[in-house]
Amino acid sequence: MQRREFLSAAAMGTVATLARSAAVIPQPVARPVVIGSVNGHFFKNGGQKTVIETAWEMMARGSDVLDALIAGVNIDELDPADPYVGFGGLPNAEGVVELDAAVMHGPSKRAGAVAALEGVRTPSLVAKAVMELTDNHLLVGTGAQHFARNAGFTIESDLNTDTSRQAWLDWKRRTDSANFPDAARRSLTEPAGGFAYSTHMYGTIHCSGVNTAGDVCGVTSTSGRAFKIPGRVGDSPILGAGLYVDGRVGAAGSTGRGEANLFSLASLLVVEGMRAGKSPKDAGMAALQRIRANTIAPRLRKDNGDPNFNILFFIVNTRGEHAGVALYGEDAGERGYAGQTNSEFARYSVCDESGPRIVNVEGLLPGTPQQ
């Protein structure tokens, strides 16, 4: 072999070796991010970290994405300051706190959920146990509670706080004065514990996350509509409505009027829109259009025919691209959290390498609900 040929072959071999070496260096396939409903940015349950900060830090340390998200959501579930989630959530019409939650694990294509669960402060953990220990996706009511007890969860007799119990009594005095007369009642404008009535009386926490490998998972947890009919189940624990995750595509979760989401299975629509190539924002807007088209009952419509309620979606794909969308980008019914000033804008929470923050959602329709 000529010297020139030898050197050329050696150089090519070196290039090939370097190429092979480069090929085995793991490259991020996604920009890691945790997103969620706005309450994920505020509640700390007396600790130092919020829901989204906790989830992000655990995910960054290598924890399974779902484990990280649930650990974050547990902070809100255990915090009695949030009247719409977990311990101290506003009770049903009989004064009983009933909780709903769902979890979905994208990489393993597994899911679990519970609905109308009484006595356990962290329904998201019970939903995870359903996913891991059973061949079922959803357990409800007394059956869900019996399962939780057998799985090792402590069952409490009452998840009300003084604030949630007083709010229920105030509601009963407003709606059933024959049995709950006004005499000696507390002020309805300044109830015990600083609870303030909002116009929509529902709330939920949702949290989704993607790590550098593109693993995507999601969690949704709620105490449901305040003072609901006992046994009412909204969209939160229903796969495809309050939460849907496809490990190859992304995740979507929701807060707002659960019945509207249930009828359209809109979180599934969002994910299917992303599967078809839409961006998170465009997929969300298409699902909102479906909800708008399906809202025909006069009692649910404004004078101009648009829906008279709000619903929000929190969306992320496996590349870490995300969006928050709502029927109305301005929501006059949104209440402040943790002493924050009420905002006219509906918002969502984000935590990534730049830190935690809240971002205004994109609205489909102008104005606000009239409710």
Instruction: Tell me the C-alpha distance between 206 and 202, whole Å.
Output: 13
Closest CA to 98 of 177, 139, 159, 19: 159
Instruction: Tell me the C-alpha distance between 163 and 248, whole Å.
Output: 43
**Residue 60, token pair as written in the block:** 């960054």
In DSSP terms, 239 is beta-bridged to 243
Is 14 considered catalytic here? no
Q: Which of 50, 161, 204, 295 is catalytic?
A: 204
State the helix-helix crossing angle for 123-133 and 65-78, rounded to 10 degrees.
150
Task: Compute CA 223 distance to the chain's CA centroid, rounded to the nearest angstrom.
Answer: 12
Coil, strand or helix: which one is 126?
helix
Closest CA to 222 of 342, 128, 114, 313: 114
**Residue 305, token pair as written in the block:** 């025919």
Instruction: Tell me the C-alpha distance between 224 and 257, whole Å.
Output: 10
∠ CA 123-128-133, nearest 5°, is: 125
Instruction: Tell me the C-alpha distance between 74 and 239, whole Å.
Output: 20
**Residue 98, token pair as written in the block:** 């009933």
Q: How far apart are the first and last CA of the chain?
A: 87
In DSSP terms, 34 is beta-bridged to 209, 351
Neighbours of 286 (CB within 10 A): 18
H/E element holding 114? strand 110-117
Instruction: Tell me the C-alpha distance between 154 and 148, whole Å.
Output: 8
- Catalytic site residues? 204
